[in-house]
Amino acid sequence: MRYHLTGVAGTGMSALAQILTASGCQVSGSDRFFDAASPVCGRDRSTLETLRAAGMTATAQDGSGVVPGTDAVIVSSAIEPDNPDIQAARRMGLPIRHRADMLAELTRGHTLAAIAGSSGKSTVTGMTGWILEGAGFDPVVVNGAELIQWSGEGRLGNTRWGAGSVWVVEVDESDRSLLLFDPDWAVVTNVSKDHFDVAATARLFSDFEARVKSGVIRGRGEGGVLAGFEPRIGCQGSEFDFRGAPVRLRLPGLHNAENAYMAAALSEKLGASPGAIRERLGEFKGIRRRFEIVSKAQGITVVDDYAHNPAKIFAAWTAARLTGTRVIGIWRPHGYGPLAAMMEELAETFAALCRGGDRLRVLPVYDAGGTANRSVGANDLVERVRRLDASAETASDESELIRRIGDEAREGDVILVMGARDPGLPRLARDIADGIA
């Protein structure tokens, strides 16, 4: 089979490209960030080279990669209808398939564990895959983020190919594509406002649960496994009991302890022993951009985190408080639509967090192009946070921001860089760390 993936540098699409290549398919891929003129081409060229080394053919995103004999052109919800690859596929009469539809097809005939939820699903997916790998299941894992221990040496870290019968897959509610899957087991970590309001999100997850064959592990809420869960939280990690013995987790924050407990519960359902679960969770080093510590220099910690909605921001900031004495938060809204939809909740969350000397810097909205309504921006959020008597300001110039953070940071501070979609945020976190050093 031959497939062409449009937007292949994205985490979800690059994961599918690796899985298709590993399964023996011919794969080509294009991405607009492969253009040398792109300001973020360094990160995405690294992705490109890794995919090439795995066997993918890279092409320009101008329709030239869509050739006769292609079985389908695969896209994500982020690809707009006027994309040249889509236009070329239509001219040739080739099928155009959604990424999740293709992935769901690949999982059929296997034992599928699907992880959903408003927050924490990438971490739960990664932890479950890590546990099952160590327990001898040789699973296939498809994640929305990179495991630190699976990254490097020609690996992106967001997939694991195995010969076992178990597939562990993160599924997405933002475009409702989780409803394309028919899992044997599932996790629904939590329900909060992000892409939809809480009521609509709850209905969506309920529809998803109805598709699950064997059982659903819920986090918080009715019937949740986290009812009465009381981990022992410290500045360097956490500890909780699982089947009569302690799990000692390296990752800070209550949310990570909860993620680990849900991963443990799922792994046990899939057949892993409690001993193997405890051992592997104790070794787990985390997920890229999920409270990833970039540096510790001169008593100042720089952290990179994917937090982009109020629940995730609150969890990351709370974990940072455990790690240091003051938090300087830097956040980039990941889109105009999400910023407008969550404006009031974001303002209230940041205002509640920015107390006792903590500070917030808001970067301009990440603009991915297209037909977005650009009537709101970082200034609107900052004004609302200030009206709630909290410290916030905009930061339109990254070079000036790096200089200012370097000047004002002091021993005990945690510099928390947050946001989704923008591939330049990890570089910004490293540049801030370099400026402090």
Can you give the residue ranges of every domain in the chain?
2-101, 108-283, 292-436
Give the pLDDT of residue 40.
45
Share of the chain above pLDDT 90, in %: 81
Does residue 257 register a pLDDT over 60? yes
DSSP 287: B
Look at residue 41 in the predicted model and tell me its pLDDT: 43
Report the Cα–Cα distance between both ends of the chain, in Å, rounded: 50
User: What is the per-residue pLDDT for 44?
Assistant: 55
Q: DSSP letters along 253-268, please?
A: SHHHHHHHHHHHHHHH
Return the ∠ at Cα 219 (arms to 214 and 222), rounded to 5°: 85
Q: What's 402's DSSP letter?
A: H
Q: How confident is the model at residue 36 (pLDDT cuts 50, 70, 90)?
A: low
Q: What percentage of the chain reaches a pLDDT higher than 70?
A: 97
Q: What's the fold here for domain 108-283? A: UDP-N-acetylmuramoyl-L-alanine:D-glutamate ligase (3.40.1190)
How far apart are the C-alpha atoms of 273 and 135, rounded to whole Å? 8
What string of DSSP letters covers 135-158? TT---EEE-SS-BGGG-BTTB-SS
| DSSP helix/strand/coil, 365 | coil
**Alpha-helix runs per DSSP H in 55-178:** 84-92, 99-107, 121-134
- pLDDT tens track for 169-180: 999 998 999 999
List, for residues 315-345, the tens digit of each pLDDT value: 999 999 988 889 999 999 999 999 999 999 9
Distance from C-alpha of 344 to C-alpha of 146, rounded to nearest angstrom: 31
- pLDDT exceeds cutoff 60 at 37: no
**301: which 2 tokens?**
């910690």
> What are the CA-CA distances from residue 298 to residues 295, 377, 382, 433 (Å)?
10, 34, 30, 10
CATH topology of domain 2-101: Rossmann fold (3.40.50)
Name the residue among 418, 414, 412, 415 with its Cα closest to residue 432: 415
Task: Give which of 312, 262, 311, 309 is closest to 291, Cα–Cα.
Answer: 312
Confidence of residue 383 (pLDDT cuts 50, 70, 90): very high
Q: Which of 373, 380, 368 is nearest to 419 (CA)?
A: 368
Closest Cα to residue 302, out of 212, 407, 409, 398?
409
Q: How far apart are CA 381 and CA 350, in angstroms?
A: 10
How would residue 213 be classed by pLDDT, with cut points 50, 70 and 90? very high
Assigned CATH class of 292-436: alpha beta
- The pLDDT of residue 170 is 98
| pLDDT computed for residue 214 by the predictor | 98
Q: Which two tokens stand for residue 99?
A: 């990424």
Note the Cα 6 to chain centre separation in Å: 20
The string of DSSP codes covering 2-62 is EEEEETTTSHHHHHHHHHHHHTT-EEEEE-GGGSTT-TTHHHHHHHHHHHHHHTPEEE-TT
Evaluate if pTM is beyond 0.85. Answer: yes
